Amino acid sequence: MSPGRPRDPGVDRRIAQAALDLFGEAGWAGFAMEAVARRAGVGKASLYLRWNSKEALLADAVTLRMSQVADVDTGTLRGDLTELAVQMLDLYAGPGSRAALRLSLEADAIPGVAEHYAAIRLSQVLAARAIVRRGIDRGELAADAPVTLLLDTLTGGAMMHALTTPADLMASLNRDIRAHAERLVGFLLRAVATQPAGSDLATTEGNGP
Amino acid sequence: MSPGRPRDPGVDRRIAQAALDLFGEAGWAGFAMEAVARRAGVGKASLYLRWNSKEALLADAVTLRMSQVADVDTGTLRGDLTELAVQMLDLYAGPGSRAALRLSLEADAIPGVAEHYAAIRLSQVLAARAIVRRGIDRGELAADAPVTLLLDTLTGGAMMHALTTPADLMASLNRDIRAHAERLVGFLLRAVATQPAGSDLATTEGNGP
């Protein structure tokens, strides 16, 4: 905790989580370096050595802790969509859920954070579209399938489920996230199925071209 | 605008909207009677004549301006779900969208507002479940249909669509809300259809025994 200590990724990670937690609870109006330091158990001087402003700290925390929604190529549409649903449920039912909601409201007004948040949102959109494109290429999804509706209902359905789960059932949802993601995807695949969902058209990855 | 003037529902409504707008932008941390008065174009004294605290003002604003998601019995499952989707899109794409999101984060921490918001949320859940129950009674929906998934994806899909619509396309979405609601409901009904969605099992209301 002495200011001169070399950087430790574990400490950076703890500080980033503390920053997101505080931002989630108090918003930008209640965000202060001193409070983050206290929450992370480090000295304020140590925080200022790493970040010279609270904008920079929050921007790094967002980048470090909130880039988890990524494109995962499992080889099937059902598998890929399930991974996406798991990541959305993790985001909105997990410890960063309040920060994620706050960002959707406040990111635009915070200098330096808006662009990081926009980049993360864009990467989520690109990952989702890549999943759909692979599904069309494999013939699991019709070329004219209602892609926007599928993705809105998948990501929105996961988000709404997490948001409307009562606090006393949240631990149980967090244990059950994969099973819920599978039910959600199974339900939505019935809406887009041109053939029975989960058909055997899937190929394994990595054996191209 | 003199303090002694009789209450005028138009003024109350304007104040309520100003209160929600300010809350949406600045959150509870930035919510103040004086700023609401200025935004609504009324005197601060006039505001205090009506509400003796900012908690009471926001609670009334929430009740006045955010109770719109209600049970509408159109006589068909498709029609009822479309009304629900229109109301969700109105809520999250309309002028109160930021306030609605703020409330999901902050309502629990605001004395007197938490219970109003919880009551509104509960009424939305009850309305949605009534729609589903009528659909089952009319045979439009199987008795063991995945109701939670249908409602999560309908309300979450509407919310996500509104939240991810870029600012420059928001006016166009607001003109197109009913058409989008119809597409969303048509998509989801394919996931639950036990028979072609929009079948003729619908009865007209009000002719009962």
Please name the member of A156, A161, A191 whose beta carbon is closest to the beta carbon of B187.
A191
B104 and B83 both lie in a single domain: yes
Residue B171, in any domain of the structure: yes
Q: Are residues A184 and A126 in the same domain?
A: yes
Place B205 in a pLDDT band, splitting at 50, 70 and 90: very low
Find chain B residues with C-beta within 8 A of A121's C-beta.
164
Which residues does chain A have within 8 Å of residue B183's beta carbon, measured at their own beta carbons?
A: 146, 149
**Same domain? B94 vs B181:** yes
Q: What is the DSSP letter of B205?
A: T
* B66 neighbors B20 (Cβ within 8 angstroms): yes
Does B203 map to a domain?
no
Mean pLDDT of A78-106: 88
Lowest mean pLDDT among A9-13, A188-192, B74-78: A9-13
Q: Which residue reads 């509408």 in tokens? A: B72
A134 within domain boundaries: yes
**What is the longest distance spanned by two Cα atoms in chain A?**
63
Asked whether residue B92 falls in the same domain as residue B167, the answer is: yes
Asked, for residue B71, whether it belongs to a domain, the answer is no
B59, B82: one domain:
no
A17 lies in the same domain as A112: no
pLDDT at B47: 92
Predicted pLDDT of residue B1: 46
Q: Note whether residue A70 is domain-resident.
A: no
In B, which residues are within 8 Å of A102 by CB distance? 105
* ipTM of the prediction: 0.79
Average pLDDT in the B139-164 region? 93
My answer on whether B61 and B109 are in the same domain is no
In a domain, B157, yes or no: yes
**For chain B, how long is the longest CA-to-CA vector?**
62
Q: Where is the domain boundary, A60, A85, A101?
A: A60
The pLDDT value recorded for residue A111 is 85
pLDDT digits (tens, 9 = 90+) for A133-157: 999 999 999 999 999 999 999 999 9
Is A103 within the bounds of a domain?
yes
Instruction: Take residue B38 and report the two structure tokens written for it.
Output: 């200025």
How does residue A131 score in pLDDT terms, banded at 50, 70 and 90?
very high
Same domain for A25 and A56, yes or no, is yes
How many folded domains does chain B comprise? Answer: 2
The three-class DSSP label of residue A83 is helix
Question: Quick one: pLDDT at residue A115?
Answer: 86
Residues from B in contact with A at Cβ < 8 Å: 26-27, 29-30, 98, 101-102, 104-105, 121, 125, 146, 148-150, 152-161, 163-164, 183-184, 187-188, 190-192
Name the minimum distance, in Å, from the CA of B188 to any CA of chain A: 6
Q: Domain check: are A82 and A133 in the same one?
A: yes
The per-residue DSSP string of B35-74 comes to HHHHHHT--HHHHHHH-SSHHHHHHHHHHHHS--------
Residue B93 covered by a domain: yes
Please indicate, yes or no, whether residues A184 and A87 belong to a single structural domain of this protein.
yes
- Asked whether the beta carbons of residue A161 and residue B152 sit closer than 8 angstroms, the reply is yes
Q: B49 is in which domain, residue-wise?
A: 9-65
Name which of B157, B163, B192 is nearest A157 (Cβ-Cβ). B157
All residues of chain B having their beta carbon less than 8 Å from the beta carbon of residue A158 are: 156
Same domain, yes or no: A85 and A39 = no
Q: What is the CATH number of the domain that holds B15?
A: 1.10.10.60
Report the alpha-carbon distance of residue A175 to residue B32 in Å, rounded.
41
Residue A24 amino acid letter: G
**Residue A183: closest C-alpha in chain B:** B149
Name the minimum distance, in Å, from the CA of A40 to any CA of chain B.
Answer: 23
Q: Domain ends where: B25, B41, B65?
A: B65
- Same-domain pairing of A115 and A33: no
- The per-residue pLDDT for A67 is 60
Q: Grade residue A7 by pLDDT with cuts at 50, 70 and 90.
A: low
Q: How many CB pairs under 8 A join A and B?
A: 96
